[in-house]
Each structure stands twice: as structure tokens, then as C-alpha cells.
Amino acid sequence: MEAIHEGGCVCGAVRFRAIGQPRRVSLCSCSWCRKRTGSLIGVSVYFDKNNVQFINAELKTHQLLSDAGRWVECQFCEHCGSALTWTLEFLPEYRGIAGGAFDAPMFIQPERYVYYQNKPEWLEINGDIRRCPLMPESPSH
């Protein structure tokens, strides 16, 4: 049986379910992730877009340009404003979900840290996590 990971926004108006294992998990310190999360690091968990289902979805959408100059289509709860999900221009077959929005995020295992050059000096990253100073040119990296 495939794993099911559920989560939602702060007010509970939006719930989601992601099925299976993530296709990619990234930490990021680009300006968009910092502002999206209100933190110094964004945790992005990507699933095949067909494996993400929304329940009670009252989402608003906006599009912006990332630090890498590519479009990002973002969705957030229209009631509480929680940033929940996005699609990246260079990974249209994936749906990104904010790591902190999962009810039980213990399954999350980062594999890369993008915009590592913006990492806070006090933060130590241990383990086998690929460190990318900027956004890699190829989405497979």
C-alpha cells in the first residue's frame, strides 16, 4: 500500500492528500522561499501532480518570477493566507507542497539545499544533502 501524507492550512479550510513518496525534497533560501514561508529556509516537497488531491480546496492563485527568472504558480488559502502549494515552470509535472503544511512531516528527508549561498551562517547542514549555491541549470540535479 502506498504512503498517504495529509495536511492543510492554518484555519482548516484547505486539506490535501499526497500519495506515494516525494519525487524530490529541497531546502531553499532564495528570496521567494524566504518570503513565502516567513522564515530563512523553505522546505519544498514535490510529488507527481496526479498524486496530490485537494479536499475542501478554497485556494487563490498568483504567479510570480523566481530568483532564477522562471515563473512559479502559487496557491494559498483564501481565508487564512497559508502558502500551501506551487508549480514551477521547469518542473510542471510536479506539485510542490510546503513541508510545514503536512500533519506529520517526519517522512521528509531533504536531498538538496538550493540557494545555499544565502544560508544563515549559524545553520549547519549535515548528512548527504547536495549543496547548490544557486538554482541548478538542470531540474534533474
* Tens-binned pLDDT, residue by residue, of the chain (141 aa): 899 999 999 999 999 999 999 999 999 998 888 888 889 999 999 999 999 999 887 899 999 887 778 888 999 999 999 999 999 888 999 999 999 999 999 999 999 999 898 889 999 888 889 988 877 654 554
pTM of the model: 0.89
Cell of 50: 496526479
Q: What pairs with residue 7 in β-bridges? A: 16, 102
> Which domains, ranges and CATH numbers included, belong to the chain?
4-132 (2.170.150.70)
CA distance 137 to 73: 19
| pLDDT score for 137 | 57
Distance separating alpha carbons of residues 77 and 80, to the nearest angstrom: 6
Residue 67, pLDDT score:
75
Q: What is the dihedral of CA 98, 101, 106, 108, to 10 degrees?
A: -10
